[in-house]
Structures are given as structure tokens and as C-alpha cells.
Amino acid sequence: MSGASGGPGFLAVDSGGSGLRAVVGTAERGPLARRTSAEPVRTGDRGIDPEHFMAQLVPLVRALTDETGPVRLTAAVVGATGLASLGDALRAELPDALARRFGVRRVALAADAVTAYVGALGPRPGAVIAGGTGLIAIGTDLTGWRRADGWGHLLGDCGGGAWIGRAGLEAALRAHDGREGGSARLLACAEEVFGPVAGLPGALYPRPDRPAVLASFAPQVAACADGDPVAADILRAAARHMAESAAAVCPSGGEPRLAATGGLFRMGDPLLVPLDEELAQRLPHARRVPAEGDPLHGSVRLAAELTAGPLTLPGDETLLCVTTTWGEGADHA
């Protein structure tokens, strides 16, 4: 396939806990090919490791351009989990590395919350709730960004998967102990999944992926919500926390759009029904819309825009940082 030649091309990347996803396309024709690497980029003393990132990315891009035929890559967008807090080395080194390796001149590094936003709403004012194991809300009025929560499973992520699963397990153990607030049904579910609850601390605390273990119980909480008032209350509280976060970031004027995106919302009505109610109460002026796409879609959208000129959405030192590299030093073929 050689039809990719011609107009300026782009590289769009989504880097997260399950690995890298990358797309090559052109401004004219959109995305042309997509590849995935299952190995997540390492995080070390310097935060997200730029060398490991490039080592993962180079073979992906080679495979992508083998598929598309020659593309003149002029812009790249990298959306990465943890970029805001762990992205210093990436911000410092990636633009140069991408320029040297692929000849890319314009690079945007975006927090995964930003690519989730753009994937869901595009370059329009509004607020997005991004929920998976964790939870963050992000909003913009097109002059700046606001974030709420996203502090991790011990400090916040209120209403996210780990939060819901943890609350469900606490309710199970309350039933086991004969404390108030227990749910015999969640206890039965917990024993089905994890075995006798006496072994639960030993199964959870030594694990490095404790938030994921907690989040793995969230679908059980949703499954119990029809008929179990304790489980239903947990999801109602989760919905309230999400709406609180959305309310903290949503533009107060105009008619902002409002979307929820991420794997958490696959649990459907038991969460979505109370969420709609809590959002309607706190943000009556916002227009609830379905998310248009995922974070990789957001990265593609930003990259296509970046080939043509400046981004519509506002830059931000840690959330969305565009770098233009000048000079002739590129060693790309």
C-alpha cells in the first residue's frame, strides 16, 4: 500500500498500564494502520523511562510504515498514563528522540486524562469523567484545564473501580463480623471469588497490584445492586463522588458537554442510572453526551490537528505540552 505518500503524516500513541498502542495516518486520509505492544513502558527513578519508551515504539512504527507505505511523519502525539506526575524525563527527551528517529518536528505529550477527554468530546468545552481502576475528572473552557481527583486508591480515586470493589469487600467483611452495614450477598460473592474471607488479607496485601485486585470485585458489586441495598448504596455513593469531581472541573458558563469514558462504565445501569441522576442535580446546564471514542482516538484527533497547525485545546505545562524541534539533525531514513 503506497497511497499514504503525499500529505503530512502523523504518529499517535496511547501508553498505559496494558502497553503501547500506536497509529500512523495522514491529515488527509485519517488513521491508516494500528499496532499494539503488550509490554507497558517501565517507570524508574526518573519516572516514565524515555529509552524504554523508544525501544518499544521503534518496532511498532516500523511495522506501521511497512503497512502504510512511506509516510512523512510531521507530528506525533503521545498520551501517557502518569505523565503529569512521572513525565519529567519523557517531556525532556522524547521530542528530540522522535525528531532524530522519525523526523517528527511537532510533538505533543498529553496526560491520559487529556487524550481521554479529546477522545470523548473532541476540541469542545466540557467535562469528562474517566473511570477504570482509578477515577479522574477533567474539564476545559478552551482557555485552560481543570482536574479533580485521580489521586490514587489511598488518597482518592473516589468512585473508581478500586473504590467500588474495596467498599464491596468491606461490606462483605462487615457481614462476616456481624457489624452494621454488612451484606450477606456480597460476603457470598467475595467467598466465591477469593475463597474463605479469613484468607483475604493474605491474598491482597502482598500483591503489587492491590488496586487492580480491589477493582476486580467491582463488577460483583454491580451484579448485586439489584436487590441488595448495601451494594446499591455503594454504587450510589460512587456516582455521587464522580459527580462531585465532574462539578469541580466543568465550565460554569455556556452549554458544556459532559461524558463518561473508560472501562468502569461497562458495568452499565447499576452505575449509570445513579450517575445520570447525580450529574443532573449538580450540572443541570451541561449536556450529557456519549463518549465518541477512547484515549487512542483522542491521541489520533490531536495528532491530525497538529499536522495542520496549532491545537484548539489549551496547552498546559504538565497536561498537554507541545514542542517544536528545529534543525537538520534528524537521522531518519
Binding site for a second copy (CB under 8 A): 85-86, 146-149, 151-156, 158, 166, 169-170, 173-174, 177-181, 198, 200-202, 204-205, 210, 214, 244-245, 247-248
Place of cell 473511570: 131
Q: In the structure grid, which three cell numbers stand for residue 318, read together?
A: 504538565
Q: Are residues 15 and 296 in contact, defined by beta-carbon separation less than 8 angstroms?
A: no
Question: Nearer Cβ to a second copy, position 19 or 152?
Answer: 152
Q: Are residues 269 and 82 in contact, defined by beta-carbon separation less than 8 angstroms?
A: no
Beta bridge partners, 267, equal: none
Beta bridge partners, 20, equal: 15, 37
**Three-state DSSP state, 117:** helix
Question: Nearer Cβ to a second copy, position 311 or 319?
Answer: 319
Question: Nearer Cβ to a second copy, position 1 or 198?
Answer: 198
**Which amino acid is located at 60 in the chain?**
L
CB of 290 to a second copy, least distance (A): 25
Specify the DSSP class assigned to residue 125: S
Q: Quote the distance between the C-alpha of residue 296 and its chain's center.
A: 9
CB of 223 to a second copy, least distance (A): 20
Question: Nearer Cβ to a second copy, position 25 or 256?
Answer: 256
CB of 85 to a second copy, least distance (A): 6
Question: Nearer Cβ to a second copy, position 75 or 138?
Answer: 138
CB of 200 to a second copy, least distance (A): 6
CB of 156 to a second copy, least distance (A): 6
Question: Nearer Cβ to a second copy, position 72 or 174?
Answer: 174
Question: Nearer Cβ to a second copy, position 149 or 305?
Answer: 149
CB of 178 to a second copy, least distance (A): 4
Question: Nearer Cβ to a second copy, position 203 or 308?
Answer: 203
What gap in Å lies between CA 99 and CA 104, rounded to an integer?
4
Q: Quote the distance between the C-alpha of residue 311 and its chain's center.
A: 20
CB of 57 to a second copy, least distance (A): 25
Q: Which of 310, 314, 256 is nearest to 283 (CA)?
A: 256
Specify the DSSP class assigned to residue 30: E
Place of cell 436487590: 227
CB of 52 to a second copy, least distance (A): 18
**Which amino acid is located at 210 in the chain?**
R
Report CA-CA distances (Å) from 125 to 10, 118, 122, 312, 318: 25, 10, 9, 10, 19
